Structure 1
Amino acid sequence: MTTIQKTPPTGKGTIQKKKNNQGRVYYQVIKFPMGYDNDGHVIYERSQCFRTKQEAEDARLELMYKRKYEPAVSAKTNDTKASSKSVSAYTELMDYVEAYVIPNYRDNETKINTRRQFEIYYFDELSKVTVQECTAIVIQKILNAMNERRCPKATYQILKRFFFWLKRQGRISRNPMEFVTCPKHVPKKKQNRSPLTAEEERKLKKFLHSDDFMAIRYGALILVLLSSGIRPGEAAGLERCNIDWEKRAIKVEKTIGHSREIQKVRNFTKTPQGQRWVPISSEACEALKKYLNARPDSQWVFTSQRDPQKHIELECMYAAINAVGRRAGIKRSLFGYLFRHTFITNAVHHNIPAAELRFITGHKNTSMINEVYANHQNDNIISTYRDFFDGI
């Protein structure tokens, strides 16, 4: 006879300090138990991310209050019809998820992440009804809740593939995703993606030629990014054999990409047109020579500060670029792709044809250049004419 757990769990979970791809610190409440099944096993755990440790502590206290004074999401007893229905709905849902994940995903990391997505984010709504009773309203609630935290496109695609698989297998008679629309995500704080102004570019270059440690360590990297327009991952994947000193050009062959928290060297670029020769300025070429002469011999051009035989990590690059911007007196935050935006905008401003420019930037076609960077060109024209009229 199985022992029925009638009291809520007492575990408090753990709060871990982590960093995202941009080097920003956040705190995550991990494995907070919310309820048990009839055999006493934890069947529902919650994990959430917060910007500060105080927010994580407050959220954990709120979860403890809900767990104690409100009915747990998972069933504690079989006394009520709702609790038994919740257990059966959870069991049915996870059985379907397991049957869906195993044949459709090869990578073990993807399988684990998909299971966790259903357990953490989708279980609150999907456990209230069976899979056959699930409607478009239930799924729309999940997407709206996700939209408050981050962009719900990934959630929409996961649920769309899952319910399409259920319909194809004959588990449901009607696919509710046919009547669901993905809500448009509007971030609370938009990142300023406008290119560097002439004044900001002047301040940055003046600082990079100073004797500051950050300027000596990362000056060559920033000048290469600013004068070539290559992506940050492509700069991290540059090797010494990719530099042609006579032609003053670099060859982009590979990139550094993310796989969860592990950075991998990929022997290919973001697009098929990404493998290319890119010219750099004489200023960047001289800075690159000084940088390489001062560094120990290594396969990589830009190396890690801890291990000179390894390439620079993207998180370190992003944090260093932002720190250099603050030291240079630039008020807004700098990021790796900002130099690419600045390079392409300046090239469009100097009337370089988009058909030729895309071979340097590695774009598939000219649509991105014409649609995005042409607007920034108008801003530069306005600022140029404003300076002209102010001087009269």
Structure 2
Amino acid sequence: MPAKARNNPRQIRVQSCGCKLCTDRFRPGEPFTRKDCTGPWQSRYRDPSGRQRAKTFAGKNAKAKAEAFLDKTRDQVRTGSFVDLDRGQVTLTEWRKQWQESLTLAENTAETTASVWLNHVQPHFGSWPLVSIGHLDVEIWIAKLSRVVGRGTIEKAYQMLDQMLRVALRDRRIAHNPCEGVKLPPAPPKHPDDLLPPTYDQLAAIRANMPEHYHPMLIFAEETGLRWGELVGLRLCHVDFKRSLVQVRETVIQVRGKVQRKAYPKTDAGCRSVPLSARAARALKGHLAAHPASIGRSAVESGMHPEELVFRSPRAGSKTRVRTFSGVLGRSNFWRLWTKAAEDAGVARKVINPKTKRAEMWPHEHDIRHAFTSRLHANGVPEADAQKILGHKRGGKVTWLYTHAREDAVARVREALDADASKLVS
């Protein structure tokens, strides 16, 4: 092991200085004009990889600063807390390219991530070096976003920046994560009535105004609570009439306008078995009698195979339709029919989404799943069982997100108060 240098830190000779050592080096033979040298002091050290590094200090107390830096840096290297701020000079745009290589994302998630980066993170921080982003800078950025987009978008943009900087922190490029402690603006709460799912009577009224082709699918959704991608991606080979259950093994996603099969729905908990009620079985058998499906079991990698789908587009026979959507029901087209049917049934109303600040029509087709879950809760199904049927990892989410107070809660409380009113003094 080489001996430790005794002249560390050392003073650097400069041409502008008139001391004896600097004069002898740059102007040999000339008389020196000052006693003390004005040259900067340089500290040399080795980073954790063994690479020789140096940092120079100039001005007042430069020697003391160089010595303090050297002691601190050596201690950081020994304890493993060393941060290479020079590596943190890379811009956020350059860092994202490296950070992205470490991710394994589903195609639809990657598409969303790219959109959030291009529209909200890159325009503000893209050209900033990592080490120059401060806590106040992040808070100012969040405040600007809150004036133009909803909380849901702000949350996604903030999470992306936070994840990128957390990796930079672990990679010893920055000394701290400026996103720590940043508070996002709270979303305005929804009115409790806007959180209630539609009743089954309301769903029946909407269904009555939908084209008959969709009736069995809507009844099936009311009885199983499947997500949209699981519903339109259901294959006959995954329906077991003998055991009265449906196996959820895959889903359908849309990436850049193209419909694709995906082997694992949302999370590992998405792969599950859902009971097939008598009402769902009757609706499904009637639908298959009019629109037969192949019992074949193709691999996900082999393509869509629309002939295996239980619920196909009514235009699945059209060559153009099959080529564009592979026979899969288009969500946007279905949503237009659903909204019109809800309006014709007198059920629809506009609701402001506090996360997006946009007016949305209630109920949404996803609210069928909410209604199904509330039905399980109202009938005393344990939370753990509901969690398994819905395909959730966390059982608590079933309670706070999907179970809602019964629609007649206000009436029941009023009746209780009226019954007790005779005991009170007027």
Question: Is 1:330 the counterpart of 2:326 in the alignment?
Answer: no
Match of 2:287 in 1: 291
User: What per-residue deviation string (whole Å, max 9, x for no partner) do you get for residues 139-176 of structure 1?
Assistant: 11222222331321221122123333444555544432
Aligned equivalent of 2:76: none
Local SS of the residue matching 2:132: coil
Aligned match of 1:183 in 173, 185, 198? 185
Q: Is the 8 A contact 1:348 1:373 kept in 2?
A: no
Identity over aligned residues, as a percent? 22
Does the Cα contact within 8 Å between 2:247 and 2:274 map onto a contact in 1? yes
Per-residue CA deviation, residues 10-59 of structure 1 (Å, 9 max, x unaligned), is: xxxxxxxxxxxxxxxxxxxxxxxxxxxxxxxxxxxxxxxxxxxxxxxxxx
Which residue in the other structure is 1:316 paired with?
333
C-alpha displacement at 1:97, in angstroms?
Answer: 3.5
**Aligned equivalents of 1:363 and 1:202: distance in 2?**
27
Q: Secondary structure at the match of 2:179?
A: helix
Query: What is the rounded CA distance, in whole Å, between the counterparts of 1:356 and 1:244 in structure 2?
Result: 20
1:360 pairs with 2:389: yes
Q: CA deviation at 1:235?
A: 0.7
For residue 255 of structure 1, what is the aligned residue in structure 2?
A: 251
* Map 1:108-187 → 2, pairs under 5 A: 120-122=119-121, 125-126=124-125, 131-148=130-147, 149-150=149-150, 151=152, 152-186=154-188
Equivalent in the alignment of 1:370:
399
Aligned residue type for 2:234: L
Query: Secondary structure at 1:256's aligned position in 2?
Result: strand
Q: Is this contact kept in 2: 1:166–1:172, CA < 8 A?
A: yes
Name the CA distance, whole Å, in 2 between partners of 1:353 and 1:345: 12
Stretches of structure 1 that go unaligned for 5 or more consecutive residues are 1-90, 209-213
Deviation at 1:383, TM superposition (A): 4.5
Q: Secondary structure at the match of 1:376?
A: coil
Aligned residues: 293
Give the deviation of 1:239 after TM superposition. Answer: 0.8
8 Å contact from structure 1 (residues 215, 324) kept in 2:
no
SS of the equivalent of 1:251 reads: strand
> Which residue pairs with 2:311 in the alignment?
302
RMSD: 3.9
1:349 corresponds to 2:358: no
Distance 1:252 1:146 in 2: 39
- Equivalent of 1:229 in 225, 234, 254: 225
- Measured after TM superposition, the shift of residue 216 of structure 1 is 0.8
Note closer, same or farther for the CA distance 1:102–1:338 as it changes in structure 2 (3 Å cut). Answer: closer
Task: State the match for 1:273 in structure 2.
Answer: 269
Tell me how far apart the structure 2 counterparts of residues 382 and 190 of structure 1 sit (CA, whole Å): 11
| Cα distance change on mapping 1:329 and 1:163 into 2, 3 Å | same
- 2-side partners of 1:129 and 1:238: how far apart? 47
Q: How many angstroms apart in 1 are the aligned matches of 2:242 and 2:272?
A: 17
Given that residues 233 and 314 in structure 1 are in contact (C-alpha distance below 8 angstroms), is that contact kept between their aligned partners in structure 2? no
The C-alpha deviation readout for 1:203-253, integer Å capped at 9, x for no partner, is: 345x16xxxxx3312111111111222222211111112223345433222
Query: Residue type matched to 1:238 in 2?
Result: L
- State the SS of the aligned residue for 1:163: helix
Distance in 1 (CA, whole Å) between partners of 2:112 and 2:103 is 11
Q: Deviations over 1:160-197 (max 9, x none)?
A: 23333444555544432234333334489999341223
Secondary structure of 1:230's partner? Answer: coil
Cα offset for 1:299?
0.5
User: Separation in 2 of the partners of 1:349 and 1:111?
Assistant: 38
Report what 1:77 is aligned to. Answer: none
Seen in structure 2, the aligned counterparts of structure 1 residues 173 and 199 have a Cα distance that, compared at 3 Å, is closer
Q: Partner amino acid for 2:216? A: A
Contact conserved, 1:105 with 1:111, CA < 8 A, in 2? no
Segments of structure 2 that go 5 or more residues without pairing to the other structure are 1-88, 294-306, 318-325, 350-361, 419-426
SS of the residue 1:177 aligns to:
coil
**In the alignment, structure 1 residue 104 sits paired with structure 2 residue 102:** yes
- Separation of aligned partners in 2, 1:168 and 1:360: 39
Q: CA deviation at 1:303?
A: 0.8
Indicate yes or no: 2:194 matched with 1:192.
yes
**Matching residue of 1:216:** 212
Q: 1:107 to 1:352 in 2, by over 3 A?
A: closer
Instruction: Tell me which residue corresponds to 2:205.
Output: 203
How much has 1:267 moved relative to structure 2? 1.7
Deviation string for 1:345-364 (max 9, x for gaps)? Answer: 12221222223333322233
**1:19-34 equivalent positions in 2, closer than 5 A:** none
**Using a 3 Å threshold, how does the CA distance of structure 1 residues 158 and 316 change in structure 2: closer, same or farther?**
same
Structure with the greater alpha carbon radius of gyration: 2
Q: How far apart in 2 are the matches of 1:243 and 1:181?
A: 47
How far apart, in 1, do the equivalents of 2:348 and 2:400 lie? 27
What letter matches 1:302 in structure 2?
A: F
TM-score of the pair, normalised by structure 2: 0.57
CA shift in 2, pair 1:252/1:136, >3 Å: same
Shift of 1:264: 2.3
State the shift of 1:322 in Å: 2.6
CA, structure 1 residues 167+252, in 2 after alignment: closer, same or farther (shift >3 Å)? closer
Moved more, 139-148 or 119-128: 119-128
